[in-house]
Structure 1
Amino acid sequence: MDAFLLFFETMPIWQKLIWLVAVITLFWVLEGHYPFRKATYKKWKHAKTNLTLLSFTMIINTVFGIATAGIFLWGQEAQFGILHWFEAPVWVELGISLLVLDLVAQYGVHYFLHKNKWLWHLHTVHHSDTHLDVTSGTRHHPMDFIMRELAALFAVLITGMPISFYLLYRIITIFFTYWTHTSFAVPEKLDRVLSYIIVTPGMHRFHHHRELPWTDTNFGNILSIWDRLFGTFLYDDPSKIQFGLDIIDETQTDALKYQLTLPFDKRVNYKNK
């Protein structure tokens, strides 16, 4: 186990980038051959917008990487966090850490991005995508992504986890970010079965339906247990799903300037949320 964790702790940046590109490429190919719906949009133009937003989040991620390193150093020196309160095997501590990260830095912050008025303004950029596919996974307004990174730092702080746990979590998150947003048509029966444990593409598509109340369901990223536990789980008829958001100009789905200024656009009737 120690050698396994050390691999992620010492993993160079170029290997992480290869993993990121490999995951996107895998689901890009799969959704191209086995799509949930036939693509009626310019896939590369759509990808350009979403990948540009990804470049912003990668810069933010680099800055937060420095802050994260400082929190880990302080936490270990101060022996601060839940994992310092008891002795347990490494695999137990790892399991606790991944659960807390998934709950706080994924489900929890995502829930508040929907429920808080001002945070929802930021999160509309993610939901404004009318062509949900693998590149939609990284379609976040920079300030939205900052909120997610702050939530991750909070999870690290309260657990006192070692940095290797956190880096493993980031690698797992990359996979699930693109897996849940891909338009790859996983057979519905298999998708439903998998959704008892993990978040699936079929499950997450309901979250991207353009109208309430479906928009406020299925907040999870890795494990589906949080949605089931807190009553936000939904699985209905996939044919009813329409991607996008009914309060914004959906013709601007691939307009980068519009997306960056969307949270501050006074013409948008956010009061309907």
Structure 2
Amino acid sequence: MQDFLTFFETMPIWMKAAWVFFVLALFWVLEGYYSLINLKYKKWKHAKTNLILLAFVMVINAVFGIATAAIFIWLNDSQFGLLHLFEAPIFVELLLSLLVLDFIAQYGVHYLLHKVPAMWRLHIVHHSDKHVDATTGTRHHPFDFIIRETFALIAVVIMGMPIAFYLFYRILSVLFTYWTHANISLPAWLDKGISYVFVTPNMHKFHHHYQLPWTDSNFGNMFSIWDRLFGTFVYDDTKKIKYGVDLADHIDDENIFTQLGIPFNKTVVSKGKESH
């Protein structure tokens, strides 16, 4: 197990970037053969905006990498964090760390991005995509992503986890992000069965429905247990889903400058939020 984790700790940057593009390309190809919804759009034109936003994300990742390194050095020297309060097998510590990271840096911050008005305006960019596919997983306003990364570091400090745990989580998070957004169709029995523990493509698609209450459901990224525990889990007929978000239906979802400006665009009125 230690050798396995050491691999992620010593993983070069080029390999991490290659993993992102490999997983994205894999689901990009698969959704062409096993589509859940027949999306009538120009796939490459749609991808352009989302890939530009991915470039912003990768730059932010590089900056946060410096901050992360400093935090892990401090954690190692200070022995701060919950993991230092007890002894357990390494796989138990890893599982606990993944659960806390997923709860705080995925479910928790995602819930806040929907419920706090200023944060929601940033998150509209992600939901304004009217054709959800694998590339939608990369579609985050830079400020939205900075908030997410900040919460991830908070989870790291709370647990006092080693850097290998965090890097393994990042690798898994990339896989789940593209898997859950991909326009792929799994057998209904398989998708629903997996959704009892993990977030699945069908499960996450309800979150991208254009209207409440489905928009404010299924906040999880890896584990579906948080949505089940806190009553935010939804599973229904995927044929009822319409992508986008009602308050930005008039916005060009494929224009990068329009998307970057959404949080500051006063013509985007939170109609759905005001009526609920």
Whether the TM-score (by the shorter chain) exceeds 0.5 is yes
Contact 1:244 1:250 in 2 (8 A): no
Name the residue aligned to 1:75: 75
Name the residue aligned to 2:109: 109
Q: Which amino acid is the alignment partner of residue 5 of structure 1?
A: L
Q: Which moved more, 1:83-92 or 1:217-226?
A: 83-92
Q: Which moved more, 1:192-201 or 1:12-21?
A: 12-21
Contact 2:212 2:272 in 1 (8 A): no
Taking only the aligned residue pairs, the percentage that are identical comes to 62
Measured against aligned partners, the alpha-carbon deviations of 1:86-123 in whole angstroms (never above 9, x if no partner) come to 11111111111111000000000000000101000000
Contact 2:217 2:232 in 1 (8 A): yes
Measured against aligned partners, the alpha-carbon deviations of 1:147-198 in whole angstroms (never above 9, x if no partner) come to 0000000000000000000000000001000000000111222111110010
Name the residue aligned to 1:157: 157
1:266 and 2:260 correspond = no
Q: Distance in 1 between matches of 2:26 and 2:70?
A: 34
1:254 and 2:246 correspond = no
User: TM-score, normalization: structure 1?
Assistant: 0.98
Q: Which amino acid is the alignment partner of residue 57 of structure 1?
A: V
Name the residue aligned to 1:49: 49
Name the residue aligned to 1:177: 177
Measured against aligned partners, the alpha-carbon deviations of 1:39-75 in whole angstroms (never above 9, x if no partner) come to 2101000001000000001000110010011111111
| Counterparts of residues 1-273 of structure 1 (less than 5 Å) | 1-250=1-250, 252-270=252-270, 272-273=272-273
Specify the SS of the correspondent of 1:247. Answer: helix
Q: Distance in 2 between matches of 1:82 and 1:271?
A: 42
Count of residue pairs brought into register by the alignment: 273
Measured against aligned partners, the alpha-carbon deviations of 1:6-26 in whole angstroms (never above 9, x if no partner) come to 000000111112211111111
Q: 1:250 to 1:184 in 2, by over 3 A?
A: farther
RMSD: 0.9
Q: How big is the shift at 1:272?
A: 3.8
Specify the SS of the correspondent of 2:135. Answer: helix
Specify the SS of the correspondent of 2:246. Answer: coil
Contact 1:129 1:243 in 2 (8 A): yes
Contact 1:50 1:135 in 2 (8 A): yes
User: TM-score, normalization: structure 2?
Assistant: 0.97
Q: Which moved more, 1:243-252 or 1:201-210?
A: 243-252
Q: Which amino acid is the alignment partner of residue 86 of structure 1?
A: F
Measured against aligned partners, the alpha-carbon deviations of 1:117-146 in whole angstroms (never above 9, x if no partner) come to 100000000000000000000100000000
Q: Distance in 2 between matches of 1:21 and 1:271?
A: 36
Measured against aligned partners, the alpha-carbon deviations of 1:26-45 in whole angstroms (never above 9, x if no partner) come to 11111001111122101000
Q: How big is the shift at 1:250?
A: 4.4
